Amino acid sequence: MYAEMAQYYDRIYSFKDYQAEVALLIDWIETHVRSRGRRLLDVACGTGCHLEFLARAFDAEGLDLSRELLACAARRNPKSSFHCADMRTFELASRYDVITCLFSSIGYMPSIEDLNKAVDNMARHLVPGGILLVEPWLTPEVWKPGTVHGLFIDDPDLTIARVNTSLTQGRLSVFDLHHLVGTPEKTVHFVEHHELGLYTVEEMMEAFETSGLQTMYESDGLTGRGLYIGVRAAESHAS
């Protein structure tokens, strides 16, 4: 997944305004965080576009499963550290004031058990009073199986046509992204298979709450997909 498309990722998603999303995130973070440190981890950071702006306000690190995307992220953010790991099982020595997991990356958890594992693992890496912000994938009600989608890029030296049919298998949204990519050297075709879990708001809330986080749901979020915000209890100082 993402190996072949890594080199085109930023162009394909150039419609996203990462700087504006980070401005919104920082507002939520400053409102809810209860710890005082500035350590941030972006889980499933992709090519590091959020990190570029988050690093202006935080000591920011990134984590992702894809070596190809991490290489892009490291080029974009040469001062940040990166970790190649799975969000369910990563084990870092540091604890963070802020952990983000954005642009529906949590959807790659194929079952409720995996979802719970990932949220629990991220929550475990927070300092007391730290905050977890997760932008979800679509809910079962919003996903429309049997629909066809296309994206077209027409730059002078790069043409991309990406087409897919959206399908459902049980609790999973399933789609093959067919890419036709033309450059001055050659035109190639490749397919990426994606499977993302369709979780309800209640299931997402439960994953956060069972991880011990005080949880809020912002229905619009950064891009209309919603945003879950969980805060780990601050340490109590009994007198």
Ligand X SMILES: C[S@@+](CC[C@H](N)C(=O)[O-])C[C@H]1O[C@@H](n2cnc3c(N)ncnc32)[C@H](O)[C@@H]1O
Region binding ligand X by CB under 6 A among candidate stretches 28-36, 96-104, 139-147, 200-208:
96-104
When binding is defined by CB under 6 A, the residue of 65, 131, 207, 229 that contacts ligand X is 65
- By CB under 6 A, tell whether 105 contacts ligand X: yes
Closest CA to 55 of 35, 36, 75, 41: 41
- By CB under 6 A, tell whether 122 contacts ligand X: no
Which DSSP symbol is given to 49?
H
- Torsions phi, psi of 75, nearest 5? -65, -40
- By CB under 6 A, tell whether 77 contacts ligand X: no
Cα–Cα distance, 42 to 102 (Å, whole number): 8
Instruction: Indicate the residue whose CB is closest to ligand X.
Output: 46
Region binding ligand X by CB under 6 A among candidate stretches 33-41, 64-72, 151-159, 224-232:
64-72
- By CB under 6 A, tell whether 44 contacts ligand X: yes
Cα–Cα distance, 35 to 39 (Å, whole number): 10
Region binding ligand X by CB under 6 A among candidate stretches 59-67, 142-150, 161-169, 215-223:
59-67
Region binding ligand X by CB under 6 A among candidate stretches 52-60, 101-109, 217-225, 231-239:
101-109
Residue spans of alpha helices (H) in 130-171: none
Q: Which is nearer to ligand X, 49 or 126 (CB)?
A: 49
47: number of CA atoms within 13 Å, CB side? 17
For the stretch 189-218, what's the b/e string if a residue is b when 16 or more beta carbons lie within 10 angstroms of its beta carbon?
eeebeeebbbbeeebbbbbbeebebebbee
The site that binds ligand X (CB under 6 A) totals a number of residues, namely: 17
When binding is defined by CB under 6 A, the residue of 5, 40, 49, 98 that contacts ligand X is 49
Q: DSSP 3-state assignment of 12?
A: helix
Interacting residues toward ligand X by CB under 6 A:
2, 44-46, 49-50, 64-66, 69, 86-87, 102-105, 108
